C-alpha cells in the first residue's frame, strides 16, 4: 500500500480526471479508478446478466426510497483520500447531488452496489472492499453472479481499528434471499447468475 503525500494524492487525482476526460471522447466506454497510489483504466463491456442485475437492483432501491437517486457508472471521488471509483450503482439523496461537479462526493453516498464482473472479479472485490470504507461509504453490497458463487454480501459499519478503516460487519446471503442492506430490502430472486460455460 502506497503512503502518498497530500500533494501526490492531488496530482494523482488531477491526472485521473484528465484520463477520464480523454476517455469520454473515445468510441468505447472506459472506467478510470484509483487505488493504492495507482490509476486503473478499464474498458466497460458489461455482459447482459451484469447489466440486468444492476437495473433490477436500481429499480428496487428507487421504488423504496423515491428521495434518492441510484446512479450507475458515474464517477465518485473522495476529496480526503484522493481516491476515484466508478461503481456499478451508487445511492445518494437527490438533494445532495451537484450537477455542476465532475464527480459525486463519496462522503455524500449512502450505499454502493457492485456486481462482480466475470473478468475482473478478484481485483474488484479486494480493492473496493479496501477503499470504500476509507472513502466514507457506509454501506457496500457485493453481488457475485459467478456460477461457483451466486452470493450477495452486505458490508457495513466502517470504522478505524489496528488494521485501518475497514468494514467491521459482513452479512452473507445467497441468490434468492431477501437481503437487508441498511434501510433497503432487496429481493434477489430475480437476479441472473452468469452462464455455466463462462
DSSP output for 176-195? TSEEEETTEEEE-TT--PPP
Q: What is the pLDDT of residue 27?
A: 45
Is the pLDDT assigned to residue 165 strictly greater than 90? yes
- Per-residue pLDDT at 28 exceeds 50: no
Identity of the highest mean pLDDT range in 21-30, 47-56, 92-101, 158-167? 158-167
Buried b (16+ CB within 10 A) or exposed e, 12-47: bbeebbebbeebeeeeeeebbbbbeeeeeebeeebe
Per the model's pLDDT, the better-predicted residue between 39 and 116 turns out to be: 116
Query: pLDDT tens digits for 50-105?
Result: 889 999 999 999 999 999 999 988 989 998 998 889 899 999 999 988 888 888 99
- Give the three cell numbers for residue 74: 458515474
Q: What is the pTM of this model?
A: 0.77
pLDDT at position 104, please?
93
Measured between alpha carbons, how far is 1 from 130 in angstroms, rounded to an integer?
11
Distance, CA of 165 to CA of 102 (rounded, Å): 26
Taking residues 154-168, report their average pLDDT: 96
Amino acid at each position: 500500500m502506497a503512503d502518498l503525500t497530500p500533494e501526490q494524492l492531488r496530482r494523482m487525482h488531477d491526472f485521473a480526471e484528465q484520463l477520464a476526460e480523454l476517455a469520454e471522447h473515445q468510441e468505447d466506454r472506459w472506467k478510470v479508478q484509483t487505488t493504492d497510489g495507482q490509476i486503473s483504466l478499464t474498458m466497460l463491456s458489461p455482459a447482459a446478466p451484469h447489466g440486468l442485475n444492476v437495473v433490477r437492483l436500481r429499480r428496487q432501491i428507487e421504488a423504496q426510497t423515491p428521495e434518492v437517486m441510484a446512479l450507475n457508472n458515474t464517477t465518485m471521488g473522495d476529496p480526503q483520500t484522493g481516491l476515484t471509483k466508478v461503481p456499478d450503482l451508487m445511492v445518494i439523496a437527490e438533494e445532495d447531488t451537484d450537477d455542476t461537479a465532475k464527480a459525486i462526493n463519496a462522503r455524500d453516498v449512502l450505499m454502493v452496489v457492485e456486481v462482480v464482473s466475470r473478468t475482473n472479479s478478484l481485483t474488484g472485490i479486494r480493492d473496493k472492499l479496501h477503499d470504500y470504507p476509507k472513502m466514507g461509504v457506509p454501506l457496500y453490497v457485493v453481488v457475485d453472479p459467478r456460477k461457483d458463487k451466486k452470493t450477495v454480501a452486505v458490508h457495513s459499519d466502517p470504522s478505524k481499528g489496528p488494521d485501518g478503516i475497514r468494514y467491521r460487519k459482513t452479512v452473507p446471503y445467497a441468490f434468492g434471499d431477501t437481503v437487508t442492506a441498511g434501510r433497503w430490502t432487496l429481493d434477489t430472486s430475480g437476479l441472473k447468475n452468469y452462464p455455466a460455460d463462462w
